[in-house]
Structure 1
Amino acid sequence: MTVIEALAEACGPEHVWEAGPADSVDGVPIGWVAEPGGPGEVAEVLRFAAAEGLSVVPSGAGTKLDWGRPPTHVDVLLDLGRITGVLEYAPGAMAATVAAGTSLRALRAYLLRENRRLPLDVGSPGATLGGAIATNEAGPLRHRFGTPRDLVTGVQIALDEGSLERTVDGFDLAHHACGSYGTLGVITEATVRLEPLPPARAWVMRPVSTPREVQQLTEALVASTLDPVAVEADLPGVSGGRPAELAALFEGERAAAVQRAETAAKLLGGGATVEQLPPAWWGRYPFDADDVALKIWGRPSELFAVVYAIRDAAGIPVPVRGSVGLGVAHVALPDTVSPERLEGMITAARTVLLARGGGGCTLLRAPHDLRELADTGGPEPLPPDAARLKLSLDPEDRLSPGRQPDPS
């Protein structure tokens, strides 16, 4: 039986095809594409792939296939777009089990009717729940509610040999699945913690001049009793066309949320205003589709120093945006940046972070040719427990081979 015949038998002939010359995962050519219709079909594809020694890379909406390290090779791209829907939810419950291919937009609309939300406001338009979990992607609300590692309480994963598992002895499977980039198995469903929908929201916006000022104002907000739900900063760089800005979100009953926002505006001073809508950049990444992107994280009090180091290495102020209250931000660079300049910025950021209490700087995405030319220090070694789990679940390294879990 040929590969295409076996995949068609698992998923149906209309949901399998041989990839074309333009099909790739971050520049790596694909052999075949399969669209399973449920967890059982995912397991069947993996069982066949294991028997034939084929590599498999899962995909949701494909919004982050170019994030992280590219795979070394891709025999089968497993498109989970048909595996959708809320599988289990009781009215008024604070948890739901959702199929991995469900878009966060669709899940948001479903929960809106129940006056609930999954506080996962990612910056990838069209992202699926499985994709957000696999990359541990989070947005401004991470300041209060955390990342998928804090919100996912259980998963079902299709493993290399074709079994469907919810637990693995000795490991927190849900925790390790978050940020795994498909290297442990294929997430088919997840149980997530929900929150009540807030009655009202108010944003405080304050123009800023320097990264140091952002740090000082953020520390004042976090140290206060005002309890912001999110604190974000946008430093557009030399070509942003708008001023740098700090913004904080307050939620709750309308009168209380507005009152806390007004108090925060007085605390921040400097022309701070209270608004009922977020700034246009809120919850968006500073990079566009063709840009190079870095992710930096460290102690919130030291993030400003990392931004200065990157700007010094770049020679100009570059766009930076992120959750400054937690010390997480993204940096945008033009795709014309030289490999030497890119190496210098990553090295500068890591040096400062090492000297100031730890953290990290990773190349989140870049054109394939630039990745090949730039020395970014190689992948971080897996923590011992993660390495043991990888060896246990995928000893032949067939699942997203060469990719690396998110260390942040």
Structure 2
Amino acid sequence: MTAIAATIASIVGEENTVSLDNNLKLSQAIAGNLPNCIVYPQTQAQLAAVIATAHQNNWRVLPCGSGSKLNWGGLAKDIDVVVSTERINQLIEHAVGDLTITVEAGMKFAHLQNILAQARQFLALDPSTPEATIGGIVATADTNSLRQRYGSVRDQLLGITFVRADGQIAKAGGRVVKNVAGYDLMKLFTGSYGTLGIISQVTFRVYPVQEASRTVVLTGAVEDVSQAATTLRGSALTPTQADLISTGLVSSLELGKGVGLIARFQSISESVKEQSNRLLEVGQKLGLAGMVFSGTDESHLWQRLQQQIHTPTTESTITCKIGVLPSAAIEILHQVQIGLIHISSGLGVLQVENKNQVLQMRSLLSSHNGFLTVLQAPVPVKQQVDVWGYAGNALPLMRRIKEQFDSKNILSPGRFVGGI
């Protein structure tokens, strides 16, 4: 055991300190040599003690949860120790009547949903994998199609507790929906990739499970699907999820030919039936093929869609997060085999096969006032391409914020915009 590992083991115990000989997941997330060890604190107090020790010794720390998104973002640099919150995973409070829940950051998303399901409630996020931890979801702002109805991670976050870079515990927000204290701080931590502090506890608003659910899929020619999406955006219909999907996804999901529009309606039975029929009528008028899914077939369809968009098809596949004006979404999807874009926000995910395609797509998106960020890619690609591709003027401000929160630059160095 190395000196660093031995010091940390004295805080959390040897059974919670694991030496790293060859960890493939970490080798895809870290530039240079692998860290000394990965540590699993079991309480928030232990987590704070580990970070305080790292701060005193200038050890560089890579925070994570279950590690499902460790290979997202930039390559971390010169990491001494990986700190996982996976074992800090208790339910703190579920206020059923107030529609809020407070949990520790290491709780798995799937486990949280099981707890809520007992009260016929749910957390309206759909992260790339149900095995992700709650802290990791917040740290990477990881949600997908449900943003159509419920917004992003930061829109549902009511309170947050985190460990600062110096090991002190801090809080923002609270456990009630109307609490606004620390609102900006919670927004700041959402999507910060562990560069400002380590999230240890969160409070979310939750929602009642809807009575009925149906999904409509329209497929066909690019122009017709684009018109259907425009009609849906301007209508009184209220889908909980609504995405444009590429020809490759339509084909692999066996939904037909051409590009696709997939929309899910969830409400009382009469409303769901009426809204589904109205969207089908829109498709019929445009000459599009239409399909309707419900029950287990519907759940399976959305699970497969999620898996395919976030699972690289080959070892060289590069997964990217993008944003573009919704009016230009269909043009972007027409350029790739595997891609999905939300019809209202213009945010989405697509896959390309080499760095040249990354640069070409980034240029195309930029011409439409959009962006492209590389999420998953082979290490050589991340070493050659600017992962974030940020061209705005806020980088000096980001650096000042980083300096205030982490003056020694020990938390996730290199993962964020501009190498922060």
TM-score (norm 2): 0.86
- 3-state SS of paired residue (1:283): helix
Q: Which amino acid aligns with 1:61?
A: S
For residue 38 of structure 2, what is the aligned residue in structure 1? 33
Quick one: structure 1 residues 382 and 240, their matched pair in 2 at CA, closer, same or farther if it must change by over 3 Å? farther
Quick one: structure 1 residues 77 and 382, their matched pair in 2 at CA, closer, same or farther if it must change by over 3 Å? farther
Give the C-alpha shift of residue 240 in structure 1: 4.8
- 3-state SS of paired residue (2:229): helix
How is 1:217-256 mapped onto 2 (pairs within 5 angstroms)? Answer: 217-237=228-248, 240-241=251-252, 242=254, 243=257, 244-256=259-271
For residue 309 of structure 2, what is the aligned residue in structure 1? 286
Matched, 1:182 2:170: no
**Distance in 2 separating the partners of 1:185 and 1:285:** 32
Unaligned 5+ segments in structure 1 are 312-316
For residue 15 of structure 2, what is the aligned residue in structure 1? 14
Q: How many residues are paired up? A: 390
For residue 176 of structure 2, what is the aligned residue in structure 1? none
**Distance in 1 separating the partners of 2:407 and 2:198:** 15
| Greater shift in the superposed pair: 184-193 or 91-100 | 91-100
Contact kept in structure 1, 2:372 and 2:389, CA below 8 Å? no
* Alignment deviations for residues 116-167 of structure 1 (CA, whole Å, 9 cap, x no partner): 1110012224111111101001121111111111111111010110000014
**Distance in 2 separating the partners of 1:112 and 1:282:** 23
**Distance in 2 separating the partners of 1:333 and 1:301:** 22
Q: Which amino acid aligns with 2:207?
A: E
For residue 414 of structure 2, what is the aligned residue in structure 1? 402
How is 1:200-211 mapped onto 2 (pairs within 5 angstroms)? Answer: 200-210=212-222
Contact kept in structure 1, 2:218 and 2:289, CA below 8 Å? yes
Matched, 1:266 2:281: yes
How is 1:7-406 mapped onto 2 (pairs within 5 angstroms)? Answer: 7-22=8-23, 24-28=26-30, 29-167=34-172, 172-210=184-222, 212-237=223-248, 240-241=251-252, 242=254, 243=257, 244-269=259-284, 270-276=288-294, 277-278=297-298, 279=301, 281-289=304-312, 290=315, 291-308=317-334, 311=335, 317-334=336-353, 337=354, 339-350=355-366, 352-353=367-368, 358-374=369-385, 379=390, 382=394, 386-404=398-416
TM-score (norm 1): 0.88
Q: Which amino acid aligns with 2:13?
A: G
**Distance in 2 separating the partners of 1:25 and 1:398:** 19
Contact kept in structure 2, 1:33 and 1:76, CA below 8 Å? yes
Give the C-alpha shift of residue 46 in structure 1: 0.6
**Distance in 2 separating the partners of 1:25 and 1:245:** 37
**Distance in 1 separating the partners of 2:218 and 2:183:** 44
* Alignment deviations for residues 313-359 of structure 1 (CA, whole Å, 9 cap, x no partner): xxxx421113223211111123xx2x334323322322x22xxxx23
* Alignment deviations for residues 256-303 of structure 1 (CA, whole Å, 9 cap, x no partner): 211211122112222323321433544345242432111111221122
**Distance in 1 separating the partners of 2:360 and 2:290:** 36
| Greater shift in the superposed pair: 152-161 or 370-379 | 370-379
Unaligned 5+ segments in structure 2 are 174-180
* Alignment deviations for residues 213-251 of structure 1 (CA, whole Å, 9 cap, x no partner): 433211111211111111012214399544332111111
What's the C-alpha RMSD, in Å, of the aligned pairs? 2.5
- Percent identity, aligned pairs only, is 24
Contact kept in structure 2, 1:157 and 1:186, CA below 8 Å? yes
**Distance in 2 separating the partners of 1:226 and 1:378:** 36
